Amino acid sequence: MKRCAGGIEYELTRKAVKNLNLRLRPDGSVTVSIPKRVVTLAEADRFVEQNADRIRQARQRLDCRPEYLQIPAEYQDGDRFWLFGVPYRLRLGATGEITLRDGELSLPFPAPLSSRDPWLTRWLNRQLEPVLREMITGLVPRLAEFCSRRPGELRLRLMTSRWGSCNPRTRELHFSTRLAHLPPEAIEGVAAHELAHLAMPNHSAAFYAATERLLPDYPRRQAMLRAPVHPTPKEPA
């Protein structure tokens, strides 16, 4: 359900949650989830109004991010499309096969093209997977110097609230499809971050020491990321 409050357009969803939750997506759009019962639409509007200034400030921070992190909700013909930190001119509605040459990426799909489009997600995953596997293979010998555990399955899926995750129990590594837009140095930083969780399943000082054993310049690579989604305010219980 689309609504507007305090000059902020937002998408409202009722879910099995206890509190009101607000999220700012990477494209600057706002979503609000509220309990299935009890909370009224007027209360949801008031919640957005109370956080309107914070939302505007967060949007300003989003605008200051590197362009490869500014992923739109939809792509139009002629837009910039970032692949591994390189900008390409996007050509939509092209006939024939996908082509990537002379600074242009031609896709056989009409405009607009959703950045969440399942086909686009699959195509990005096919570009990203071999890159990530090569990076992880290169990092594993360094991991072995201080951790006996080895990474398990590598899985890719569209995630907008995090770049990756590690399940310390199963050793599975999950990465966001949207890493494909980032420069390789930043991608390798995310890979090192998740591998370090095999040694330290937390974000303690020891964990960050582990990331720097994997990549001595990890802090610089982490700075290339900026958070894809800013912290979300919640209504007190």
pLDDT tens for 132-178 read: 999 999 999 999 999 999 999 999 999 988 999 999 899 999 999 99
pLDDT, position 161: 81
- Dist CA 168 CA 182 (whole Å): 25
Q: Is the pLDDT of residue 29 over 70?
A: yes
Of 3.30.2010.10, 3.40.50.970, 3.30.70.100, 3.20.20.70, the CATH number of 119-223 is 3.30.2010.10
pLDDT, position 24: 87
Q: Is the pLDDT of residue 237 over 50?
A: no
**Where are the CATH 3.30.2010.10 domain residues in the chain?**
119-223
Percent of the chain with pLDDT over 70: 94
Q: Give, for 210, the enclosing helix (H) or strand (E).
A: helix 205-214
Task: Report if pTM > 0.95.
Answer: no
Helix (H, G, I), strand (E, B) or coil at 9: strand
pLDDT tens for 40-97 read: 999 999 999 999 999 998 888 776 778 898 888 899 999 999 999 999 999 998 777 8
pLDDT, position 44: 95
Mean pLDDT of the chain: 90
Helix axes 52-63, 41-50, angle to 10 degrees: 60
- Dist CA 82 CA 72 (whole Å): 11
Q: Is the pLDDT of residue 192 over 90?
A: yes
